[in-house]
Amino acid sequence: MTITTTAEIVVGVGPLSIADVVAVARHGARIALDPDAVARVSDTRSVIEALADDPEPHYGISTGFGALATTYIERSDREQLQLSLIRSHAAGSGPEVEREVVRGLMLLRLSTLMTGRTGVRASTAQAYADVLNAGITPIVREYGSLGCSGDLAPLAHCALALLGEGDVRDADGLVKPAAEALAAAGIRPIALAEKEGLALINGTDGMLGMLAMGITDLDVLYRVADITAAMSVEALLGTDAVFAADLQALRPQTGQAASAANLRTLLGGSPIVKSHAGPEDPTVQDAYSLRCSPQVAGAGRDTVEHARSVAERELASAVDNPVVTLDGRVVSNGNFHGAPVGYVLDFLAIAVADAASIAERRIDRHLDVSRSKGLSAFLADRAGVDSGLMIAQYTAAGIVSELKRLAVPASVDSIPSSAMQEDHVSMGWAAARKLRRAVDGLTRVLAIELLTAARSLDLRAPLTPGAATGAARDALRTRVAGPGPDRALSPEIEAAVELVADGSILTAVENVTGPLR
């Protein structure tokens, strides 16, 4: 979803918001470090340096890691210990992860560093900020995180770049060796001190960043789902009576009430709805895909709100192991476990699959002469000679089938690692990766419903749609022509996808209705 921003995000003054994460990750907002937080980071670092001189072993400071936590490391080997940790954990494989995901996980790791609970030096935190502001993006691979002990491999690839190793993309998107990109930006590679390597890789930052962006996208898509549902209800000569506030109040679900209110607004004053309203309308009740739209879209909204509450708590967290407590102790803990985030990522994928599923059923109703109330078969210009939107429905059906597979939870799986020390993991990174694919799929299904319902509305001429649904149709018509003989559909589908994804359809409608809920 395209939203531009020029605001500078100050890290360390308090918890980041979801909007802050999206601004930096997706829209390139610059960041600054809060001076008071920098001072706290330096104060905490003194605790780590005192323990580094202690002959007793302290995990992450003077010991190995994971199953090697009881192995004492001499002072002379500790810089190499931290360097080896980063190099060995930068073990990702597969396709390159999107730039916004990498920027999001780097910002969130920096946010935790700035809590003063990790024990890093202030100069290390500043290096993270400098790399983000320079637009340098470490190359991170798809596979490598089990969502426990942090998003280890993804974060290690980011840390490796700060050391001047590995590959990155510069601000222009060109792949370069990290050392070359840092030098061009005037950034000196860092050398890690005690505890710092561990602090740079031990967090749920990747999955949390993807959750923040997923929530942001779904805030838009659920309003678009109401728009396309309203267009379908209207074009299929459905009734808006079932969306009445008193009926919805009998089941006081928050999201359902919001969706139904949107449908009332979107269908208000529609000449098409008025054309068949009243006792002469032979329809007893509409099919579920029309009548129950607020129940499904509303439940999805409620799921998003639950996910938002989890994300906001996670954004206020200091996730590291060990952690430096407020009273100066360095204590091992399990806060790096990604279960809270992984669960809601999976929950959202379920809701997304169902939102796409009901939209696809509405698409199919437009095309079937036995259910479309007078529209041509497949909305074709000359049915038989032309196939109309027949195969667009196939495309939507294929996406929905994929979304159902993506709705299978990742967080119920666990594969032990690190010689059974890490014997239960969250798979939250995998849950986040499949949610991103699911959100893309929902965007495409809604775009196909937009395309289909707009053609149906045109075919209802001389009847005209309401102002709000008409605005959605007209916005589509700036990129996609109206009914006519068959033409290649793929470019038209992709144009509709862009209009949904960049917020153009929502903006066009809200210019008529005001903000939808």
Longest dimension (CA), the chain: 90
Q: Indicate the SS3 state at residue 42.
A: helix
Q: Is 59 a catalytic residue?
A: yes
Residue of 59, 143, 222, 288 marked active site:
59
Structure tokens that stand for 83 in this block:
């360097």
Distance between CA 54 and CA 71 in Å, rounded? 15
Q: Which two tokens stand for residue 63?
A: 């010991």
How many degrees, rounded to 5, is the angle at CA 86 between CA 123 and CA 74?
85
Q: Is 10 helix (H, G, I), strand (E, B) or coil?
A: strand
Q: Which two tokens stand for residue 111?
A: 């946010």
Neighbours of 328 (CB within 10 A): 12
Q: Which residues contact 511 (CB under 8 A, 6 or more apart)?
A: 471
251, with CB counted inside 10 A (0-12, 13-18, 19+), is: exposed
Q: Which helix (H) or strand (E) holds 235?
A: helix 205-235
What is the SS3 string spanning 317-375? CCCCCCEECCCCCEECCCCCCCHHHHHHHHHHHHHHHHHHHHHHHHHHHHHCCCCCCCC
CA distance 195 to 149: 15
Asked if residues 275 and 470 have their Cβ atoms less than 8 Å apart, the reply is: no
CB atoms within 10 A of CB 73: 18
How far apart are the two ends of the chain, measured CA to CA in Å?
17
* Coil, helix or strand at residue 422: strand
The distance of Cα 493 from the centroid of its chain, to the nearest Å, equals: 22
Q: Which two tokens stand for residue 28?
A: 């390139």
Return the active site residues.
59
